[in-house]
Chain A
Amino acid sequence: MTDTLSKIEKRTAYTLLLPAVFLVFAIVLFPIFANIWISFKEVQLKDIRIPEPRAKKIVKSISEDKTKLKIVYRLRNSSLIEDINNIEFLDKLPKNIEPVNLDPRCTFKSKKIKCDFGNWKAEYKENFEIVIRNINNDEIDKNIIKSQKPRLSGDADNILLTTKFTFKNFKQVFNENEFLDLLLTTFYFTFFGTVGAIIFGVFAAQLVNQKFYGRTFMRSILLFPYVGPVVALAYTWTLLLDPNSGTLNAILVNFGIIDKPINLLGQKYLTLNLLGFDIKLRLALTTVIMFEIWRYFPLAFLFILARLQAIPKDLYEAAEVDGAGPLRKFINITLPQITAILSILFMIRFIWNFNKFEDIFLLTGGASGTRTLPINVYQQGFAISNIGMGSAVSIVIVMLLIIFMIIYFKLIGKRANEV
């Protein structure tokens, strides 16, 4: 009895899960593995269309003879690189109309013209002509002939399904001198973006955890940058920072803080003179990191605030009795209570900032030293149109991600449930 019950339970469970699991497999897991396949192929963006045989039908009159018409089919292979094999052609003629001197590759049977064109090389083109006449010597209506569209079919290799593989993409990814620079940029962006967001998150949470007038209002406002659509916010920032007519530069110039507008998003380096040392600051990257911090500190804030509110009040009261000031209370009570959540936040935010694409793409497009790995996926795959390279970069990202995740679950995976 229990046996059948558990069987029913299992079957129910699988039926309930199947749709969701299938969808996630098809759209999330399959592409990750497909990346491996594509990354070993030489594929350009224009190759991913499956090659098709195409025909454009043109109907022409022959001199004065209205009972005869000439049909010209402009035949071509849509692909510039792939051959198409076993091409079959089919067109229908209306009643009482038959072809004259049909091409030997074709047959005419029960109003249908069938042709066997064999194989077409890449870029193949041919003007294929058929002369038709009316059996009853009546006039042929051009439009009826025109309205019938020919059908073509053929076997072509789908470039994604062939078994030609190459290591070229990976060689190119790693041999590029830029790869190290790319990796470094990604790590700068990720690390400082994460740490900055957490620091601001701690401040904001500490602030909202106090009682003051307008506290709930403040809490809503703090989440605005995260809730707003990235497109709108990124463009607003570009407008704000624009060197020619941006508000920030205009304010700074107006009050004489700087002499000339600074192109905060378009200048790679800014040389600062600190204590006699020339320091080269990656300006555009710093600006992008600022945007990143601005947009994502609300998340850190939410987490930390939830944790702060869970700290028992009597801890603070006891500390006060012992004569601890605000600073000691923060260092000795608050900080130890939030270290666990901070380390989890750091790992999670690190992983997510590592993958950030939209923010950088919208602000700089990856120019002036802000090209990170995710931006490189887009640039290789769609700007340079090399799908294979794009996939190879994706694979590098996935590999690094897996390493981060292993570290994450080893270090704090078990503690994650306790907090």
Chain B
Amino acid sequence: MRYKPLLIYLFISSIFLTLLGSIWKIMATLQGLKLTEINFNINFLLALLLSFALIFIGKKINRLIKILVFSSIFTLVYILINESAPIWYNSGVFLLSLFFTSRVNNYDLNYLKEDFISEKIIFDFLSLFAIVFFAFVILFPFYLMFVTSFKTQAALLFNPLDLSINFTKNLVEVFKSYFVIFKTYDFGRYIYTSSIVSIGTVIITLIFAIPAAYAVARLNFFGKTFLSNSILVIYMFPAIVLVIPLYTVFSQLGLRNSIEGLLIVYTATTLPVAIYMLQGYFKSIPKEIEDAGLIDGQNWFGIIIKIIIPLSLPAIASVALYVFMIAWNEFLFSLMFLDNPKSFTLSRAINHLTGDAETPRQYLMAGSVVVTLPILLIFVYFEKYLVSGLTAGSVKG
């Protein structure tokens, strides 16, 4: 009998189960349940007993019976020693214990005799816990943003913990914030401006970047090494050091408050990374294919249009999506350059909403959902391309 792995197993697994229970309790509180005690110690003891029983019974009885019986017992005791709660909450507890018991199903006293078992147990539960932790920490703000946009100011101030959405009301009431931001705050126009600016930036960047990247990748000219070395250096200079001179010059040229001004700045700031990414890909295209084109009497324009672009569509897609994301999310320049609500982009418009302290937060969150949702959908749909763009462009961010 080895006590060290046994103790480690008991401790870690009980902590894990208790934490799962606590997170579930917090989530339930956010649905308006009045629960005020975490009862960490008592629930930890309960989880400890469960782990203890499970490991001693091991594989002596049928797996399914074991899981079901022990989950039920755990849930019943849990209900007894915790505050009273509705059925759906307790079934959640049952599901959690079901997950837990099936997870530790292969643990028995024999298994604890394996080599490095303590480390294995720790790694096992740590990664389980990490999944829960990362998923919770990352998704919670997005969840909060989403549900807040469906609440009313009065409800939020009355009980900030109650984030439940009441779908029994009529839908117009539920989606009221969205109607308001589109009607009163003119968000339709901002979506339009943001789309024009982002798509325009992508197109202009590609028009400028593809020929330049081709020259850097393929042609020999004076200053080539210098140029390709300086691309990344230039890219590392942040927007904040450019903003004052650009502001003064744009003010004097009357380019502030114009979409053209934003397009110029966005294109110029994304060009270096676009060229850097494209030239890397162009270099990987076999030169023989181009030579064939040269023999056919194509000039460089023909080669780029007919050979290079069709062959590097995946790379171009990556660059396009990455540039789109940067332009869509950009905030600093739109803050500096736009002060006329007629030319606002979405990001700037949401910032403008907060300028008035009276603006109800559900409108702010509805606006945030409107700006976040498109980019997340694009990301999920085109993940493969965007991830390679992110990796290449992640020298900045």
Contacts and interface: CB of A to CB of B under 8 A. Distances in A.
B242 interface: yes
Contacts of A226: 390, 397
A302 B394 contact: yes
Nearest to B163: A247
Contacts of B134: 204, 207, 218, 221-222
Interface in A1-46: 6, 9-10, 12-14, 16-17, 19-21, 23-24, 26-32, 34-35, 38, 43
- How extensive is the interface on chain B, given as a class? 35 or more
Given A10-B220, A32-B241, A352-B397, A24 B248 contact: no
B55 interface: no
Contacts of A348: 394-395
Interface of B: 26, 29-30, 36-38, 115-116, 119-120, 123, 127, 130-131, 134-135, 137-142, 144-145, 148, 156-157, 160-161, 163, 208-209, 211-212, 214-216, 219-222, 224, 227, 233-234, 236-249, 251-252, 264-265, 267-269, 271-272, 275, 300, 325, 328-329, 331-332, 336, 346-347, 350-351, 354, 361, 364-365, 367-369, 371-372, 375-376, 379-380, 383, 386-387, 390-391, 394-397
A16 B215 contact: yes
A50 to B, nearest CB: 6
Given A21-B212, A158-B252, A228-B142, A299 B30 contact: no
Contact of A34 (B38, B138, B249): B249
B240 to A, nearest CB: 4
A302 B161 contact: no
5 contacts: A27-B246, A35-B244, A220-B383, A222-B134, A225-B141
Pick the 9 closest A-B CB pairs, nearest first: A325-B116, A27-B268, A355-B238, A232-B368, A31-B245, A34-B245, A16-B211, A20-B212, A13-B221
A174 interface: no
A394 B248 CA distance: 14
A24 B395 contact: no
B101 to A, nearest CB: 17
A31 B249 CA distance: 9
A303 B379 CA distance: 18
A221 B160 contact: no
Contacts of A247: 30, 144, 160-161, 163
A72 interface: no
A209 to B, nearest CB: 10
A212 B131 contact: yes
Interface string A229-258: 111110111011000011100110011100
Contact of B251 (A49, A306, A355): A49
Contacts of B328: 229
Contacts of A69: none
A32 B368 CA distance: 33
Contacts of B240: 355, 357, 374, 377-378, 394, 397
B132 to A, nearest CB: 11
Contacts of A34: 245, 248-249
A335 B364 CA distance: 44
Nearest to B124: A326
A81 interface: no
Contacts of B272: 24, 28
Contact of B214 (A16, A296, A362): A16
A38 B219 contact: no
A28 B237 contact: yes
Contact of B137 (A294, A352, A362): A294
Contacts of B332: 357-358
A351 interface: yes
A239 B139 contact: no
A176 to B, nearest CB: 18
Contacts of A145: none
A9 B219 contact: yes
Contacts of B37: 255-256
B219 A13 contact: yes
A75 interface: no
B141 A28 contact: no
B390 A231 contact: no
A243 B332 CA distance: 27
Q: Which of B115, B272, B394 has the most CB of A within 10 A?
A: B394
A135 interface: no
Given A20-B209, A207-B131, A31 B234 contact: no
A227 B376 contact: yes
Nearest to B140: A240
B272 to A, nearest CB: 6
A38 B268 CA distance: 22
Contacts of A255: 26, 36-38
A48 B252 contact: yes
A417 B379 CA distance: 28
A323 B115 contact: yes
B115 A17 contact: no
Nearest to B353: A235
B236 A236 contact: no
Q: Which of B215, B264, B336 has the most CB of A within 10 A?
A: B215
Contacts of A236: 141-142, 144-145, 365, 368
A318 B122 CA distance: 22
A229 B36 contact: no
A34 B213 CA distance: 28
B15 to A, nearest CB: 17
A381 interface: yes
